[in-house]
């Protein structure tokens, strides 16, 4: 969990690094967590070997923000603290879309519903989400994301855990143990941020400095954080 990112973490076999940095796409990731007899756990899965971006790595459910996420119906609005954190680096409409994308990707990749389905469409429940951090993929990667990491308690979701093929071996992993599958360095760093957050008294979690990761492993404070 202490290794640093390398260009090869993001470049597929036989693929060259871009001549110029690629503009990062907005993305959202959700750490769905629960308390078990063994301690704190988060839901993770292994990305298919067919993926161009981080194949065969253990990750949290998530993906890029789609245009439709900006106008998707909601079951509830963002918690004020989560909204403020997202809006440090995104306008209100995009901040909302980022959270919607996190719920949508959770449904698509795990079958779990954070919200309610109406006429086959997800009405996302954004209120349980809390902001954790963000990370921007290194410039040498041919696929780049400006990813926001959000959290939500497992008790807020419904449905049966069932993968779509995008993520395999879906299961809850203890945050204080070493998983059997290889984890991307940034995933390990975000997991540590989550452990540190949850170790704080609940009243202090929203007052902690806002963190983002730039490039390989540079941990920075958000502006105003």
CATH class of the region 7-13+21-221? alpha beta
Q: In angstroms, rounded to a whole number, what is the distance separating the alpha carbons of residues 145 and 151? A: 18
From first CA to last CA, the distance across the chain in angstroms is 25
Tokens 């941020």, residue located: 193
Predicted local confidence at residue 82, as pLDDT: 97
Q: Which residues pair with 118 in a beta bridge?
A: 121
Query: Please, which residues have CB within 8 angstroms of residue 102's CB and are 6 or more apart in sequence?
Result: 28, 29, 30, 62, 114, 129, 148, 150
Q: What is the DSSP letter of 207?
A: G
- Spatial contact of 76 and 156, defined as CB atoms under 8 Å apart: no
- Spatial contact of 2 and 136, defined as CB atoms under 8 Å apart: no
Q: What is the DSSP letter of 106?
A: H
The residue ranges of every structural domain in the chain are 7-13+21-221
> Residues, the chain, total?
225
What pLDDT tens digit does each residue of the chain (225 aa) get? 223 333 334 444 344 455 677 789 999 999 999 999 889 999 999 976 555 555 568 999 999 999 999 999 999 999 999 999 999 999 999 999 999 999 999 999 999 999 999 999 999 999 999 999 999 988 888 888 999 999 999 999 999 998 777 788 899 999 998 776 788 888 999 999 999 999 999 989 989 999 999 976 789 999 865
């Amino acid at each position: 969990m202490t290794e640093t990112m390398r260009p090869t973490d993001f470049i597929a076999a036989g693929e060259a690094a871009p001549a110029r940095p690629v503009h990062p796409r907005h993305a959202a990731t959700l750490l769905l967590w629960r308390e078990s007899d063994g301690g704190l756990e988060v839901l993770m899965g292994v990305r298919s070997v067919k993926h161009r971006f981080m194949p065969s790595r253990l990750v949290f459910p998530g993906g890029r923000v789609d245009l439709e996420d900006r106008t998707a119906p909601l079951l509830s609005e963002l918690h004020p603290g989560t909204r403020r954190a997202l809006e440090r680096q995104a306008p209100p409409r995009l901040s909302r879309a980022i959270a919607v994308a996190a719920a949508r990707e959770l449904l698509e990749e795990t079958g779990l519903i954070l919200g309610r389905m109406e006429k086959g469409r997800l009405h996302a429940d954004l209120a349980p989400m809390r902001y954790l951090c963000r990370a921007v993929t290194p410039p040498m990667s041919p696929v780049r994301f400006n990813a926001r990491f959000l959290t939500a308690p497992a008790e807020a979701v419904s449905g049966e855990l069932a993968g779509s093929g995008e993520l395999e071996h879906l299961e809850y992993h203890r945050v204080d143990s070493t998983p059997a599958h290889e984890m991307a360095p940034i995933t390990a760093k975000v997991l540590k941020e989550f452990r540190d957050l949850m170790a704080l008294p609940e009243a202090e979690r929203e007052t902690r400095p806002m963190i983002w990761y730039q490039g390989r492993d540079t941990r920075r404070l958000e502006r105003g954080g």
